[in-house]
Amino acid sequence: MPPVRNSNFNSLPPHSRRRFLQVAAAATSGVMLSNCARALLNNASGGTTVQSDGRAGSGNQTLRIYTWANYTDDELLSNFKDRTGIQVIADTYDSNETMLAKVQAGGGKDYSIIYPSDYMVDQMSGQGLLSLLDRSKLDGINQLMDKWQNPAYDKNNAHSIPAVWGTTGLIFNPDVIQAEVKGWDYIWDNTEDLTRQITMISDVREVLGATLQYLGYSINSTDPAQIKEAYEKLLEIKPAIASFVTNGWEDQLAGGDLMISMAYSQDAISLIAEKPELQYIVPESGSSLWTDTMVIPKTAPNSEAAYAWLNFMLEPENAARLVERLKISTPNAAAFDKLPPKLQQNENLFPSKAVLAKCEGIVPVKEEISNLYDQFWTRLTSS
């Protein structure tokens, strides 16, 4: 199904993929690796189903998982069944909040594996919804990249295994722009030539956060003066902004109706696969960094199959093949070593250490600061 379009500047789409639950986030402490919003395309109902052999299964030979679109394919599910004899039924959702609401309402009791984003792991574990992982049943967790060995959103990976990660950046056609674009400078320096030619993600913390970084501040600033400065800086380029939309910009950008879009790396990589003339960059001033994980809910009906899935996904060979087929970024260092050089050197998938050093995870802030962000966001998007 094609992405939902939103060309009305004052009409914002629903919560983006990693949108904060602001009140709950205000109560969360600690530094997370990330909490950015990146909406993956899914069907309007929020749930497609993929089965490894096309038949409904039951009992110990069936594993139901709840995941994002584009994180599994028929080959993965078939290979898992060939190895374990367990049939996989994969349902997909389009936002962490959709998934959480279903789990809280009891609709998640059929799933033994769920794929929450980093900040949602923190929230779900705080609500007692996740099982503590039994490390004696896991093989290969020590092969994770250093950044994911002890993530702040889930100390020592107590409840989760990282599955996919990425950045937020800018995508454009260099043949159309015909100028070097290193980051946000290009937009501020060329606002008059970009009238209604750019789109920005529909997420307050992503947009204000990127501007804070551009100004030399932290993406997680809690200084009211800095937040106001970022808002006023955004007002300078408002004539260039066609809309705030997380998905729906793809065809317009590919067709030349837009010059630049702020996007999540996963979405940019997917579009570049179809339109290789496009280019994705992480702004030189920095970016946000996000992670999606695998967890076993406390209500899991088949924890034995769940551990089989985690171990299968941790196997370097399996993780590497998934990167090759789906072009997703793995946090598995041993899997990375098995990738062909072309993929290892693809900085859209695996940014350099210098780029990652400038990236920050978006973390919760106190309620009064969260409200301040929202106030400036409302002014920005409605005026």
Quote the tokens at residue 370.
């969260």
Is the torsion defined by CA of 197, 201, 205, 209 positive or negative? negative
Pinpoint the alpha helices (H) of the chain.
22-26, 74-84, 96-104, 118-126, 174-177, 185-189, 204-214, 224-236, 250-254, 265-274, 303-314, 316-326, 333-337, 341-344, 353-356, 367-382
Q: In Å, what is the CA distance from 27 to each residue of 128, 335, 369? A: 15, 36, 12
**Cβ proximity of 93 and 66 under 8 Å:** yes
- Would you say 119 is a known binding-site residue? yes
Q: In Å, what is the CA distance from 56 to each residue of 86, 92, 114, 131, 185? A: 12, 16, 19, 26, 53
- Would you say 205 is a known binding-site residue? yes
**Cβ proximity of 228 and 162 under 8 Å:** no
The helix (run of H) or strand (run of E) holding residue 87 is: strand 87-93
Give 119's strand partners: none
- Would you say 206 is a known binding-site residue? yes
Q: DSSP label at 330?
A: -
Quote the tokens at residue 5.
């379009």
Could you list the residues known to form a binding site, using ranges. 119, 203-206
Could you list the residues known to form a binding site for spermidine, using ranges. 119, 203-206
